[in-house]
Amino acid sequence: MIVLELDLLQAFVAVADQRSFTRAASALNRTQSAISTQVR
C-alpha cells in the first residue's frame, strides 16, 4: 500500500514541477491519462 501511495505522490509532484500533465507523463514514462487519473 505504501508503494502505491508513493507512486501517486510522485505523479502529483511531477505535475507540479512540470506544470503540465503531458510533460509530467513524459518525464515518468507514463500516459497522460494515467497521470491525470492518479492525481485525481
Convert the pLDDT of each residue in 1-40 to its tens digit.
677 789 999 999 999 999 999 999 999 999 999 999 999 8
pLDDT at 4: 79
pLDDT at 23: 98
pLDDT at 8: 94
Q: How far apart are CA 35 and CA 15, in angstroms?
A: 8
Q: What torsion, rounded to 10 degrees, do the Cα atoms 33, 27, 10, 14 define?
A: -90
Q: State how far Cα 23 lies from the chain centre.
A: 10
pLDDT at 1: 66
